[in-house]
Structure 1
Amino acid sequence: MTPLVYVMGPSGAGKDSVMNLARDMLAPDAPVVFAHRYITRPAEAGGENHIALTQAEFALRREHGLFAFHWVAHGNHYGIGREVHGWRKAGLAVVISGSREHFLKLGGIDDDTWPVLITAPVARLAERLAARGREPGSATAARLDRSEAYDMTDPRLVTILNDGALETAAQSFVSLIARLQPSSAVRRRA
């Protein structure tokens, strides 16, 4: 089966920024798709481009088996649609933005899953969370408390430190995808 690239990391690490730039750096015909998330957070709340669902809509989809993965974090429900299974069967590498806690509960998902931890020093996380201003200080403090709460020991784990130029972290991510995909279609755009 083709790779599932499971991206995770603490709030404020810049996961979405790294993934968005990496997507732009990939060749247009690269056999790689980035899955969107379903979240019980309003679309106008900022952050990633996601499908906003009410609690009831999320529960209905979960009850009907429409999620490949789902978890709760920061007071919201998050889901990845089961369409990712079809994309992998079709020969596409799939990139998802997941949760460290969820990944640990799943026990690594399958042999073709590649966990990627995007992280930054706590001081940088705090700066970024304050700058995005999405939540009150108490919620920001709770996110920072969780920043080092998980011991990620999967031998396949690739860690990307996003503490310098965003392009450097994104290029590291693109290089990983290139190593996982035998296709020559994964190359940097000119």
Structure 2
Amino acid sequence: MMSGTTTSHASEPGGGLFYVMGPSGSGKDSLLRALRERLGHSDRIVIAHRYITREADANEASVALSADEFHRREALGCMALHWHSHGLHYGIGIEIETWLAQGLRVIINGSREYLHQAVKRYPALCAVHVRVRPEVLGARLRQRGRESEAAIAARLARATQPFAVPAHCRLIELDNSGDLNVAVENLATIVAG
């Protein structure tokens, strides 16, 4: 479960939190990697790394932790947000609050299931839902080779189901079915806002 604090975390003018979410295989990690590679020295955008209890993929901004270390850091208050999904623990470090206070635009790789908890802690966040056409998503999941056909079918079914969006949460849909460069440009425009 994510942190349940309900306090608002203000930021300096020009900053903001962008909560990128979407089904597995929608290309969130590729989008964030491509955007990170485009950032210049003076760009006031930070893509937060995610703590996760599995080995990190080279394409993602993640730091692998053992389950024991993850829970230790959680207990010490090192996680601003944390959740459990598909047998793994995910977390976003408390350092994002320092970045927000400095007026930076902070992007995190979140989960649709835990959007409500994120909005409780950061009511002004902007949610960005990355979606892809089902046939593209299926092809990407098969190409990764991580799951059985049954697991892929379950992910595809889940990807097309609606999800709850908290009242007053700003939600932007971002299509990533085609050229990655187009989607990255659209994400950059959203964050520059």
Distance change (3 Å), C-alpha of 1:139 and 1:48: farther
**TM-score with structure 1 length normalisation?**
0.85
Q: Which has the higher contact order (CA 8 A, sep 6+)?
A: 1
Distance between the aligned counterparts of 1:14 and 1:88, measured in 2? 25
Q: Is the 8 A contact 2:115 2:165 kept in 1?
A: no
Contact kept in structure 2, 1:33 and 1:94, CA below 8 Å: yes
Equivalent residues of 1:103, 1:109 under 8 A apart: no
Q: What is the SS of the residue equivalent to 1:134?
A: coil
Tell me the SS of whatever aligns to 2:170.
coil
**Superposition pairs of residues 12-27 of structure 1, within 5 angstroms:** 12-27=25-40
Aligned equivalent of 2:130: 118
Name the CA distance, whole Å, in 2 between partners of 1:123 and 1:27: 35
Q: After the TM superposition, which residues 45-56 of structure 1 pair with which residues of structure 2 at under 5 Å, given as runs?
A: 47-56=59-68
Q: What SS does structure 2 have at the residue aligned with 1:57? A: helix
Using the TM superposition, give the Cα deviation of residue 108 of structure 1 relative to its aligned residue in structure 2, in angstroms: 5.5
Instruction: List runs of 5+ in structure 2 lacking aligned partners.
Output: 1-10
For residue 86 of structure 2, the aligned residue among 57, 71, 74 is 74
Among 109, 114, 139, which residue is 1:102 paired with? 114
Structure 1 residues 38 and 6: CA distance shift in structure 2, 3 A:
same
Partner of 1:32: 45
Change (3 A) 1:141 1:75: farther
2:142 maps to 130
Q: Is the 8 A contact 2:131 2:176 kept in 1?
A: yes
Q: Deviations over 1:3-41 (max 9, x none)?
A: 001000011111111112122233331111000011111
1:47 CA drift (Å): 4.6
120-129 or 4-13, larger mean C-alpha shift: 120-129
Aligned-residue sequence identity (percent) comes to 40
Cα 1:61–1:137 shift into 2, 3 Å: farther
Deviations 1:108-156 (A, max 9, x none): 5434311000110122111101101123334333322321334254551
**Conserved in 2, the CA contact under 8 Å of 1:100 and 1:150?**
no
TM-superposed CA distance for 1:178, in Å, is 1.3
| Contact 2:52-2:65 within 8 A present in 1 as well | yes
Deviation string, structure 1 residues 66-125 (Cα, Å, up to 9, x no partner): 100000111111000010001111221110000011112444543431100011012211
Question: Which residue is 1:183 aligned to?
Answer: none
CA distance, structure 2, for counterparts of residue 57 and residue 135 of structure 1: 27
Change (3 A) 1:115 1:171: same
Which whole-Å CA distance do the structure 1 matches of 2:104 and 2:145 have between them?
36
Q: Which amino acid aligns with 2:177?
A: D
Whether contact under 8 Å (1:162, 1:169) holds in the other structure is: yes
Whether the aligned pair in 2 keeps the contact of 1:11 and 1:144 (CA below 8 Å) is no
